[in-house]
Structure 1
Amino acid sequence: MLGYFGFHALNGELGLVGKARLEHRFAALETELAELRSQREELESRVALMRPESLDPDMIDERARASLNLVHPDELAILRPSARAGI
């Protein structure tokens, strides 16, 4: 009986090995949470620029040009691939 409990204390889901797996998973989730929070803050700042009380003319111009795929005849457009292509 002592061997059974000793084995599960080491290798069980809540044993020493399981605790290490849980700590590793916790660290990975903390990293993912930090990335998601930074993405959310960036999106919130972009949305804040589009609110009616604080419209930024440059932001409106940028979004309109991106949506309509248009530029002025005297402008030079430099196209770059972007990780935020859908935003």
Structure 2
Amino acid sequence: MWTKHHKERKLGRFVLPAITIAFVSYFSYHSIHGELGLIATEKFERTRLERVATLEKLVTKREALERQVRLLSDGSLERDMLDEVARYQLNVSRDDEITIFRNYF
């Protein structure tokens, strides 16, 4: 009768857990530090919020410019508006006038 006797190795029982730990560690690292990880997502969100704020400023500025263009070119050119814009741009006023500056831009 032939029997095989295998000596149990202590190292053999650590192979599967070691492979599992390596596998989980690899994917955990890349889920945090990878291109689509948590750190990259936070950076993307910060950039998005900065760009949304910039967009809001630009939209407000564009609306002010559009309003000013409408006042200047609606078919009947308002002399007061033209005079006001010209004085503001050229920084000109007469001696007997009181000038109040408002930012249009």
Is the TM-score greater than 0.5? yes
Matches of 1:76 and 1:52 in 2, distance apart? 28
Rate the CA distance shift 1:33–1:4 in 2: closer, same or farther, 3 A.
same
Q: Structure 1: where are the runs of 5+ without partners?
A: none
Q: Which has the larger radius of gyration?
A: 2
Rate the CA distance shift 1:57–1:21 in 2: closer, same or farther, 3 A.
same
Rate the CA distance shift 1:36–1:77 in 2: closer, same or farther, 3 A.
closer
What is the total number of aligned residue pairs between the two structures? Answer: 83
Q: Partner residue of 2:27?
A: 5
Matches of 1:27 and 1:15 in 2, distance apart? 18
- Correspondence for 2:69 among 30, 47, 51: 47
Matches within 5 A, 1:3-82: 3-51=25-73, 53-66=75-88, 70-72=92-94, 74-77=96-99
Larger relative contact order, structure 1 or 2 (CA cutoff 8 Å, min sep 6): 2
Q: Structure 2: where are the runs of 5+ without partners?
A: 1-21
Matches of 1:31 and 1:76 in 2, distance apart? 36
Residues 41-81 of structure 1 show CA distances to partners (whole Å, capped at 9, x for unaligned) of: 00000111110514222111123334565444543557x6x
How large is the Cα RMSD of the aligned pairs? 2.6
> Where has structure 1 moved over 2 Å in runs of 4 or more?
1-6, 63-78
Rate the CA distance shift 1:68–1:15 in 2: closer, same or farther, 3 A.
closer
Q: Tell me the TM-score normalized by structure 2.
A: 0.61
Matches of 1:25 and 1:15 in 2, distance apart? 15
